[in-house]
C-alpha cells in the first residue's frame, strides 16, 4: 500500500466535510494510505502570494518539510493547495538560489527544505497507484446514464511549466477518470475557462458574472451535473447559483459534485456516509441516475 501525507488545507475542513469524507473513504477503499501530520498550515495560495511571494514560498516549503521529515509524498484534495505546494516544490527544486533564500527563512523555525518529495493531486495518485483499469473494475454502480460537465479548476493545469499535470490546452486525465466510472464526460463551451472564484470578496460582481458563464454553458450543453476538484470552484458554482438567483433572477439548479463524491458513489459507498447535506443545490437528480 502506498501512503501519503494528506494535505487538507483550510477550506475543506472548515466548510466542506463532504469533500473530506468522500475523499478519505474512496481513497482508503482503493488501497491508498492517508497519514494526518501535525503542524501543517495554510498552503500559501494566491491571496498570500499576492501579499508576499517570498513568505508564501517559505510557508509552502514549511509544509513540504513536514512531509520530508515523515518520509512521505504529499497528496492534496484542493486544487489550490496542489498549485501552491507543487509550484513551490518544483520551483525550489529547480532554483538553488531561491532554495537557499527560502532555507535561510526556514532556519528560523529549525527547518530545511531538501527537495526530496513529490506533491501530488489525488487524481495523479489515482492514475499512478490505482490506474484506469483497476478503477473501472472497482466500480459497482451503473453511471452510464449520467452526463457530466467536468471542471478541473485552473490550478490543476496552470502554470503547466511548474505543475506538469496534463496538457494545459487539451487535458484528458480528469475526463478519463470520470469515464472510468462509467459516466459520460461531455464537452461544453469555455470548458477550461476560470470560474472567477478568486475574485470573490474583492470584486463580487465580476466574480459572479464569470461564474454565471460557467453555469450557463454547462446547462446549455445538457449536463446533469458539474464535477469539480477544488473547494473554491465548488463554492463558486454551488453557492454561486444562489447568488445568481438573487442578482440575475435566474434559476439553474444544476448540481455540483466533487469528483471524490462521484467516485465514492460509484464504488458503492452509502450516500448517508458522505455528508451530502452540505450541498446547496440538491443532488437528487444525480443520485437517481446512479443505480
Partner 1 sequence: MEHKKEQKTSATSFSDEIRSQLGGETITLCYQCGTCASSCPVAKTTERYNPRDIIRLSLLGEKQEVLSGGAIWLCSSCYNCQERCPQKVEIADVIYALRNIAIKEGHIPNIYSEFATGLMNEGRIVPTSKFVEKKRPEYGLPPLRPAGLDAMKKILAATGFDKIQWKKEGTP
3-state secondary structure of 150: strand
- Tell me: does residue 94 bind partner 1 (CB under 8 A): no
- Tell me: does residue 96 bind partner 1 (CB under 8 A): no
With CB under 8 A as the contact rule, which of the stretches 42-50, 120-128, 137-145, 256-264 interacts with partner 1? 42-50
CB of 132 to partner 1, least distance (A): 26
Q: Please say whether the dihedral angle defined by the alpha carbons of residues 227, 229, 232 and 235, taken in this order, is positive or negative.
A: positive
The pattern of x and - marking residues 188 through 227 that bind partner 1 according to CB under 8 A reads ----xxx-xxxx-xxx--xx-xx--x--------------
For the packed helices 231-248 and 79-94, what is the interaxial angle rounded to 10 degrees?
Answer: 130
State phi, psi for 114 to the nearest 5 degrees: -100, -30
- Tell me: does residue 140 bind partner 1 (CB under 8 A): no
Report how many residues bind partner 1 under the rule CB under 8 A. 68
Q: Between vectors from CA 89 to CA 110 and to CA 63, what angle results, nearest 5°?
A: 45
From candidates 51, 100, 140, 242, binder to partner 1 by CB under 8 A: 51
- Cα(93)–Cα(97) distance, rounded to whole angstroms? 10
CB of 207 to partner 1, least distance (A): 8
3-state secondary structure of 220: helix
3-state secondary structure of 134: helix
- Cα(225)–Cα(253) distance, rounded to whole angstroms? 9
Binding site for partner 1 (CB under 8 A): 8, 10-11, 13-15, 17-18, 20-21, 24-25, 36-42, 45-55, 57-59, 62, 66, 98, 104-106, 108-111, 154-155, 158-160, 168-169, 192-194, 196-199, 201-203, 206-207, 209-210, 213, 273-275
Amino acid at each position: 500500500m502506498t501512503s501519503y501525507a494528506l494535505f487538507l488545507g483550510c477550506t475543506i475542513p472548515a466548510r466542506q466535510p463532504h469533500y473530506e469524507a468522500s475523499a478519505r473513504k474512496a481513497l482508503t477503499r482503493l488501497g491508498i494510505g492517508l497519514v494526518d501530520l501535525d503542524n501543517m498550515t495554510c498552503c500559501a495560495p494566491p491571496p498570500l502570494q499576492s501579499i508576499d511571494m517570498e513568505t508564501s514560498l517559505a510557508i509552502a516549503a514549511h509544509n513540504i518539510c513536514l512531509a520530508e521529515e515523515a518520509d512521505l509524498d504529499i497528496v492534496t484534495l484542493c486544487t489550490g493547495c496542489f498549485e501552491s505546494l507543487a509550484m513551490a516544490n518544483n520551483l525550489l527544486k529547480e532554483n538553488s538560489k531561491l532554495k537557499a533564500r527560502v532555507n535561510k527563512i526556514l532556519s528560523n523555525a529549525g527547518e530545511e527544505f531538501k527537495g526530496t518529495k513529490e506533491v501530488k493531486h489525488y487524481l495523479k495518485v489515482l492514475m499512478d497507484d490505482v490506474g484506469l483499469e483497476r478503477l473501472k473494475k472497482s466500480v459497482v454502480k451503473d453511471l452510464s446514464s449520467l452526463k457530466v460537465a467536468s471542471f478541473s479548476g485552473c490550478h490543476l493545469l496552470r502554470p503547466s511549466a511548474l505543475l506538469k499535470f496534463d496538457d494545459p490546452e487539451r487535458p484528458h486525465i480528469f475526463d478519463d477518470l470520470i469515464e472510468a466510472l462509467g459516466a459520460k464526460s461531455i464537452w461544453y463551451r469555455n470548458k477550461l475557462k476560470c470560474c472567477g472564484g478568486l475574485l470573490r470578496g474583492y470584486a463580487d460582481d465580476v466574480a459572479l458574472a464569470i461564474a454565471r458563464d460557467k453555469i450557463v454553458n454547462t446547462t446549455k450543453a445538457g449536463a446533469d451535473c458539474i464535477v469539480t476538484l477544488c473547494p473554491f470552484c465548488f463554492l463558486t458554482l454551488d453557492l454561486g447559483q444562489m447568488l445568481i438567483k438573487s442578482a440575475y433572477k435566474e434559476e439553474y439548479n444544476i448540481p455540483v459534485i466533487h469528483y471524490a463524491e462521484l467516485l465514492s458513489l460509484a464504488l458503492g459507498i452509502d450516500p448517508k456516509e458522505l455528508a451530502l447535506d452540505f450541498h446547496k443545490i440538491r443532488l437528487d437528480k444525480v443520485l437517481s441516475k446512479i443505480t
